[in-house]
Structure formats: structure tokens, C-alpha cells
Amino acid sequence: MRHARYLIPIALATLPVVSMAAPVAYTIDPVHSQVVFNVDHNGFSRSFGRLRITEGTIVFDRDDWSKSSVQATVDLASVDMGDASWDKAVRGSSLLDSDRASTARYVSESVEKRNDDEGVVHGKLTLRGTTLPLDIPFRVNRIGKTIYGLHTVAGFSAQVTLDRTAYGMTSNRNSIGTNVSVWLEIEGIRSGEASRTSDEKETTHAPAQ
């Protein structure tokens, strides 16, 4: 027994160390993140547009998704429909009304895990001054180092459908569909590593020699 006080600490020290994951914060990268939407155009086709995320943060816990969260801001004035006149019309007061409310904002309230790669974010979207609950199904694509090893990236894909009239966009019902399909392709850079983004841009987007 006299050796027990020496043997027990040694035995404990040789036990395998269990690594406990913790929530990790990622800054949304606006360069590699996309908000793409489409809406019916009088039954002839579906018109596509893009919007820019100006800032946002994703907190993700691999082991406990309930500890995860997301918040993001979208610049409504950035809408790109592929035509200047059309862009102006969509920014107008009858649709996005970006002069009055220049941004849309999504803030999560909880994150639900469905399987190893898929889940649902439960939160609220504020658009044109109206805040409504919005659940967004999403998929975790990959979390890892970039090919240059400069920083760690978390990538997600999501798709959701919005009723534009619920946010006050009630005009042009005869020509513009009510339901708007939205696709989100999001990359977040692990916090503390975001300052290195510009270095990688110079490398990845440099012209071939």
C-alpha cells in the first residue's frame, strides 16, 4: 500500500486522453458565400438574382449541435438580377425597399441535428422591417484546412422558400410569383484566422504565370 500513492498518479497519466470538442466560431467569408434566389416570372420562366452577405458569424459544435448558432446580415441594395433596370426595380419600394431598410438579418434561436451531416436552424428573419420565424434546413459540407493550409474553413449549404407577401411585398402578383426559393452556399473562416484571408486571395486568384 505504501507504493499506491505513487502508482495511482502514474496509472492515471497513462490513460488515453479523450478530446472534447467545443463550439468553434467562424466568420462568414463574403467572397466565397452566396445567396441566390429565384421566383416565377409570369409562368414563362424563373428569374434568378443574387444578394451579398456583408457580415455574419457561425458557431458550430461538432459534438453538440444544440450549442451552435448563426447570425448574418444581407445587403439588399446589392441585388443583382443581371440587368441594371431590373436591379433598380427590385430594390424599389414595392419589393425589397432597400432605401428604407437596406439590410436583412437572420438570427438563430436553436440548431437541431437531423443526422451526421444535416440539421435545421430555427431562427428569425428580419426583412423590410418585418421579423418572422424562419427554419432553414442545412447540410454540413466540410470542415477543414484549405489546400494552402492558411486557415480552417467550415462550409454549409442550405435551401429555404419564403413567402414574399408575408414581408410586405404584395405588388405584381400577376407577374411575380409569391414563393421565392433561396439557396445559401456559405463558407466561414475560423475566428482568429480571418486576417489571413487576403493572403490566400493573392495566392488563389493570382494570374497564371
Q: Who's near 34: CB < 8 A, 6+ residues apart? A: 50, 183, 184, 185, 186
Q: Give the domain CATH number at 154.
A: 2.40.128.110
Q: What is the model's pTM? A: 0.82
Looking at residue 2, what is its pLDDT? 52
In a domain, 13, yes or no: no
- Residue with cell string 444544440: 66
Looking at residue 149, what is its pLDDT? 82
Looking at residue 13, what is its pLDDT? 44
Q: What is the mean pLDDT of residues 80-99?
A: 96
The pLDDT of residue 4 is above 50? no
Give me the chain's average pLDDT, please.
87
Q: How many CB atoms lie within 10 A of CB 19?
A: 7
Per the structure, the complete domain to which residue 166 belongs is given by 19-204
In a domain, 3, yes or no: no
Split into its structural domains, the chain has a count of 1
In a domain, 189, yes or no: yes
Please list the alpha-helical segments (H only) found in 92-191. Answer: none
In a domain, 9, yes or no: no
Looking at residue 147, what is its pLDDT? 87
